[in-house]
Amino acid sequence: MSGECVLIDTSAWIASFRQAGPEQLHSYVADTLQKDLAATCPPVFLEILQGCRSETEYRRMKERFESLHFFEASAQTWETTYRMGFKLRTKGLTVPTIDILIAAIAIENRLLLLHHDRHFRDIARRFEIDALDFIDSD
């Protein structure tokens, strides 16, 4: 792992929360947190908090995620998102809008995107994004 921040997608967080998740993913997330390289962005923050089952869990997760490096979507990020969405659709691919936005945030900020979602593989095949997953190690 280099000294760069890692934008951890919701899919990777969820897989890492599960005991049965890929061991390599568990280790990578733990190492990223220990080295203070873990990053988040508004869409991931929203998805994580939306999945909380109680007020206590919500407060605990919010506090934890507020301690991570935080990357917003700039006007340029939105332009990148629009263009990516258009290009994906013209190639016959329908990718969730929130995934396109997360990918654009990673691209614009030159972040490694850690994910556990095949949509990001589709994005990575068509755009210059530094992405890592452990999907095949399930």
User: φ, ψ for residue 28 (rounded to 5)?
Assistant: -65, -45
Render pLDDT for 17-26 as a digit per residue (tens, 0 to 9): 998 888 999 9
Structural domain contains residue 22: yes
CATH code (residue 76):
3.40.50.1010
Residue 137, amino acid:
S
State which residues form the domain around 68.
6-137
Cα–Cα distance measured from residue 104 to residue 118, given in angstroms and rounded to the nearest whole number: 16
Structural domain count of the chain: 1
| pTM exceeds cut of 0.75 | yes
| 76-123 tens-digit pLDDT | 999 999 999 999 999 999 999 999 999 999 999 999 999 999 999 999
1 in a domain, yes or no? no
Reduce the secondary structure of 16-55 to three states and give it as a string: HHCCCCCHHHHHHHHHHHHCCCEEECHHHHHHHHHCCCCH
Q: What pLDDT does residue 2 have?
A: 47
Q: Which pLDDT belongs to residue 19?
A: 87
* Chain segment 34-81, per-residue pLDDT in tens: 999 999 999 999 999 999 999 999 999 999 999 999 999 999 999 999
